[in-house]
Amino acid sequence: MIRLRRAVLSAVTTELLRGYTDDIRQQATEKQRKDRAKQLWANRRKVRPALFAGLAEMAPGHERCMYCGDGQGTDIDHFEPKSLAPLRTFDWLNHLLACSFCNSNQKRNLFPTAADGSPLLVDPTAEDPLDHLRLVLPLGTYQGLTDRGRACIDVFGLNKRAVLVKGRTDAYATARHSIELWRMAMDKGQRDKATEIVRVSWNRPLVDVLVAMFHQSGHPAADVLFAGEEEVLDLLHDAELRSAFLHFRGVSY
């Protein structure tokens, strides 16, 4: 998971969403609200294209899942399930793009909460997952830094799905090669090639690996985190390289 910026919907779509929510709110009982929310969502043709377009714009890479970062985002997921919060069924701030595996096989209607009722899952459009999760780059596995991070690892199977773990280790090797190739291209004055390397790097699946590399290179314990990979760390500390890669994504670490 990586930090994402929430897109702004058109006034027309926003008004349609508000109308659906008002319809649900007018139902007399909670069961009726849930039934109405389910019915309206099943017939969301008027708003689905705009919702999907907004989520696709926000998603990492080429419409990757906002949870695992690997699978293609095909589903509009309700961060807080509509079965638990029917009034948030058409709440744009409650919509995320998910692959069918994360949505239907992993998350389903799971929505763990803390003792105070606050959600334990991390919404990447509302806060930075890096505050809750640390990727062990050579292993391709996540460590939970908080209860919320650990809940994400559990609910989405971030460490149990072998294809994700193997994919992250491969993505780490690819990312290392990319920054090396960028430096070589720049040293040869091949600026167009260097720009293309940056663009492709950010558009690959599992881009959380690249985010973790830049983030961890600035950690006080970076020498330990990159033990045995001093050349990689030196490149990640290269001011020109950092500027090129991070400016493209509009972030700083």
Residue 251 has pLDDT above 90, yes or no: no
**Which whole-number Å values give the CA distances from 107 to 27, 43, 144, 150, in the listed order?**
28, 23, 18, 14
* Type of residue numbered 192: D
Same domain, 26 and 93: yes
Domain around 191: 162-249
- 170 token code pair: 């491969």
pLDDT (average), residues 227-252:
91
pLDDT (average), residues 204-232:
94
pLDDT (average), residues 63-72:
96
Out of 82, 97, 112, a domain closes at 112
Whether the predicted model's global pTM rises above the 0.85 cut: yes
| Mean of all residue pLDDT scores within the chain | 95
Look at residue 131 and tell me if it is in a domain: no
* Type of residue numbered 98: A
| DSSP H or E stretch at residue 183 | helix 162-187
**Which whole-number Å values give the CA distances from 99 to 63, 102, 147, in the listed order?**
9, 6, 24
Q: What angle separates helix 239-249 from helix 230-237, to the nearest 10 degrees? A: 70
The CA distance from 75 to 204, in Å, is 19
Same domain, 94 and 175: no
The CA distance from 52 to 44, in Å, is 11
Look at residue 134 and tell me if it is in a domain: no
Q: What digits encode the pLDDT tens for the residues 87-116?
A: 999 999 999 999 999 999 999 999 999 999
The CA distance from 46 to 250, in Å, is 32
Same domain, 19 and 101: yes
Cβ neighbourhood burial of 247 (10 Å; 0-12, 13-18, 19+): exposed
Q: What digits encode the pLDDT tens for the residues 129-180?
A: 999 999 999 999 999 999 999 999 999 999 999 999 999 999 999 999 999 9
Look at residue 169 and tell me if it is in a domain: yes
Look at residue 153 and tell me if it is in a domain: no
Length of the chain equals 253
pLDDT (average), residues 38-44:
95
Number of domains in the chain: 2
First to last CA, the chain: 16
DSSP tag of 151: H
Same domain, 167 and 91: no
